[in-house]
Structure 1
Amino acid sequence: MEKNLLEQSSKNGAGKVPFEGFDLTNFWKDSDYALKNYVSEPPTDELIASIEQELGYKLPASYIAMMKLHNGGLPINTRFPTEEATSWAEDHIAITGIMGIGCKKYYSLCGGVGSQFMIEEWGYPDIGVVICDCPSAGHDVVMLDYRKCGRNGEPEVIHVDQECDYEITFLAENFEAFIRGLVHEDFYDTSEEDMQEDLRKVAHEEFSPLLSELCARVTEVDNMEEIIRAICTRIVEEKGYFAFHADELSTLMYDLQFWLYTKSYPDTNRQQYLNAYEKIIAFGGSFSTGGYALGFISDWMDDRIRQGMIVGTNDALAFTDTAIEQLLEKIKVYGGRADE
């Protein structure tokens, strides 16, 4: 069956009518998260021309046709078979969403974590357009590859793996072939095993040296380590894996990490905290998400500053006393007891 999928993904090219005979009506999963972060209004011809000019590449006709029907979002089928192993799996890659044509949604071609951001800030090769984000939160992507066809030609679709020194894996001859080749996650279902492994990790693996240090200095609540493990266990139970995004529990962990760090290092400015962030949980040790998207952290911090919860000068930022009280109240449910 896997061989047939590979043959199908390489042979299905874009015809005269894009996606002829392919049911796009049941392609998307329109959750609240998808509608907020991915899905835009159908693009006008003027917007398409503007985005193409900004990116420096002509977008494939099949991609434009698809976006005019549904402009970005989370597909139901999120796995694509490969002949080579990647950091995700031995025989396939996974995507989270497909970026739409626009700039207003966070996950759109020219949005907050769009194509140019991933190339300029994450170091992905400047050979085309990033069109799909992946569950690794930035550590691998799917791109349109224009190296063979030129900036106005029909690009191939590739997977680029930052975890393996930006290794490139060929996926499909064109965008339509890529879409037709996507399969449901159940075809490669290891979710239960992965979830159990992440539950074990958050329950038992050692904290990073920095996180251990920060927890040891807390006097306001009992059992800070247990609180963190309890919150992260809830995250794994709800998502099926250990990662922080823009959801409520992830935001709670962003708040908690910031408070812990600035409590111990009160003269911390914005850039110093962003530099230190990855040493706390993201890449700090065995208890780790194994990656993070800087855009989530920056957006969280900007939101907290706008809300007046984080205050300070260019030299030092901190939570207000009210924000700290609210945070301590929130973590009580996870086993923390704020000292009277």
Structure 2
Amino acid sequence: MERDLLEQLNLWHEEDEFENIIDRILEIPERERDYDVISHLARAMNNLERYEEALQQLLSIEKQGGNDPLWHFRAGYAYYYLEQYEDAVREFEIADKLAPKDTNTLTFLTWSRQGLNAVNRKRKRSMAIQAQNEQGGNHGAGKAPFEGFDLTNFWNDSDYALKQYVSEPPTDELIASIEQELGYKLPASYIAMMKLHNGGVPVNTCFPTEEATSWAEDHIAITGIMGIGRDKHYSLCGELGSRFMIEEWGYPDIGVVICDCPSAGHDVVMLDYRNCGRDGEPEVIHVDQEGDYEITFLAENFEAFIRGLVHDDVYDTSEEDKQEDLRKVAHEEFSPLLSELCARVTEVGNMEEIIRAVCTSIVEDKGYFAFHADELSTLMYDLQFWLYTKSYPHTNREQYLKDYEKIIAFGGAFSTGGYAPGFVTDWLDDRIRQGVIVGTSDALTFTDTATEQLLERLKAYAS
């Protein structure tokens, strides 16, 4: 490769101008592209999430890359994001042998092994269920839906459930029209259950998982099960039904949303028709919007999902969690950024103690340490923004949202351990709309009046 070209490609890479790299290399006749040029091309394609194309380029120079740790890292990177975890593990292990202890290699090797373990667990579950079916298990030929399963006390018919979820049993004509509107044939077990009780809130609202989700390390929770109809808010074709969640909230168009979750739209349970086709027997999955619509397998079919639901008491560690979070907010060390921001405050004394006092109130109210859309959470959003923009007055929206997680969300020992970006962006948009936060595209700030009101509110938490 010519030296001038190499320098230009590296410069474009540093400036994230990956399209320029690809365009320039594709101008070179294919027969004239050497190992280094193709390596740069594959790296740029990886960075643009064009993983299949990147892998194709890398495989064209596989023999030359046999002893190059970068070749194996880039191949592993493509395999990882293509969810071909076994191949990714192989390539990252080779890269680690050729260039031991590289941090990026070890990180992706860990992630790839985790992905492979998850795939193997799913394969093992599928094989076990298939074997059970072949031996005449719960869903064998001739078995009626939910045979032997007591549905008598399955539903919690509260006023809320009856108003938002429960409809009259569906007629065959309604079922056919709903299936036509959704574009999928509904499972026989689901239809059978809805003919007995059309939607509602179950007594058991938790489903165990072997993988962590946005809800918990070992389970997900649902709010209710959507019925067959259009009239209730939470029915399949209702105002907040399946098509709404797919078309308005961006959930993948791979099936039917059947359960909403306590996150108010930020995760759902779906029937997944990818493996069976629109007329087949769908699997049941959890889809996490806040995790870039990450999919977690739950059950082989709807009946298995219903049979697997357990009461939330099984996972109730609320009192222990509350005490641990109270200890955390009272004693754990602030993040470096939060400590820096507090040290620059002169308007009020004991800013650290004020923050701990507000967060203690949040834990007392919620039972755990998290910021949502409530009054005290809004106070903490306001406080963090004021602290940050006081120290960094030329902060724009993008910069603040990027650095937000370094303050408390992922701030080390004193942290919520995560956050839903939607809550933060909604808060920021509301404050701008209200005129509390003003500025240009280059810099945002609280108004003087808003700052005075914030400081006045903080006085109630000063010791």
2:432 match: 305
Aligned-partner SS, 1:199: helix
- 2:41 — aligned with what? none
Contact 1:80 1:181 in 2 (8 A): yes
Task: Give yes or no for contact 2:246–2:253 (8 Å, CA) kept in 1.
Answer: no
Question: For 1:168-317, what aligned pairs fall within 5 Å after superposition?
Answer: 168-171=296-299, 173-174=301-302, 177-179=304-306, 181-317=308-444
Q: Is the 1:159–1:171 Cα contact (8 Å) retained in structure 2?
A: no
Corresponding pairs, count: 303
Amino acid at match of 2:345: V
Q: Within 1, Cα distance between the matches of 2:457 and 2:420?
A: 24
- How far does the alpha carbon of each residue in 1:176-232 deviate from its partner, in whole angstroms, 9 at most, with x for none? 553454322212322222222222221222211111111111111111111111111
Paired position in structure 2 for 1:330: 457
In structure 2, relative to structure 1, the CA distance for the partners of 1:85 and 1:51 (3 Å cut) is same
Gaps of 5+ in 1: 1-5
Secondary structure, counterpart of 2:408 in structure 1: helix
Alignment of structure 1 residues 39-78 onto 2, 5 Å: 62=190, 77-78=204-205
**Counterpart for residue 277 of structure 2:** 150
1:95 and 2:221 correspond = yes
Instruction: Quote the Cα distance in structure 1 between the aligned partners of 2:186 and 2:160.
Output: 24
1:125-178 Cα offsets, whole Å, 9 max, x none, are 77556644467996x764432222224544221246888x9573433511x553
Corresponding residue of 2:156: 26
| TM-score normalised per structure 2 | 0.53
For residue 309 of structure 1, report the CA deviation from its aligned partner. Answer: 0.9
How many Å separate the matches in 1 of 2:294 and 2:324? Answer: 26
Report the Cα offset of residue 27 of structure 1. Answer: 5.1
Question: CA 1:316/1:288 → structure 2, altered by over 3 Å: closer, same or farther?
Answer: same
After superposition, the Cα gap between the structure-2 partners of 1:195 and 1:306, relative to the gap in structure 1 and judged at 3 Å, is: same
Question: CA separation in 2, counterparts of 1:136 and 1:253?
Answer: 21
Change in CA separation of 1:170 and 1:40 when aligned onto 2, cut-off 3 Å: closer
Deviation string for 1:78-105 (max 9, x for gaps)? 32234x3536767x40325358457976
Secondary structure at the counterpart of residue 170 of structure 1? strand
Q: Does 1:320 align with 2:444?
A: no
- Provide closer, same or farther for how the CA distance between residues 167 and 96 of structure 1 changes in structure 2, counting only shifts above 3 A: closer
Give the TM-score normalised by structure 1: 0.69
Code of the residue aligned with 1:95 in structure 2: it is: A
Instruction: Provide structure 2 residue ranges, at least 5 long, that are not aligned to the other structure.
Output: 1-128, 168-173, 227-233
The 1:277–1:231 alpha-carbon spacing in structure 2 relative to 1, beyond 3 Å, is same
Structure-2 separation of matches of 1:247 and 1:286? 23
Greater share of residues in helix: 2
Deviations 1:58-78 (A, max 9, x none): 776849959x9668xx76543
Partner of 1:3: none
Q: Using a 3 Å threshold, how does the CA distance of structure 1 residues 40 and 330 change in structure 2: closer, same or farther? A: farther
Residues 15 and 137 (structure 1), Cα distance of their counterparts in 2 relative to 1, 3 Å cut: closer
Offset, 1:251? 1.1
1:315 Cα deviation (Å)? 1.5
Amino acid at match of 1:186: D
2:256 and 2:208 map into 1 onto residues whose CA distance is 21
Within 2, Cα distance between the matches of 1:78 and 1:243? Answer: 22
Are the equivalent residues in 2 in contact too, given 1:40–1:102 (CA < 8 A)?
no
Aligned pairs (5 A) from 1:5-16: 11=138, 15=145
CA displacement 1:284-337 (0-9 Å, x = unmatched): 21211121111111111121122221111122111111111121122222126x
Distance 2:180 2:366 in 1: 33
Counterpart of 1:308 in structure 2: which amino acid? Answer: G
Label 1:186 to 1:260 Cα distance change in 2 as closer, same or farther (>3 A).
same
Q: 1:80–1:25: structure 2 CA closer, same or farther, 3 Å change rule?
A: closer
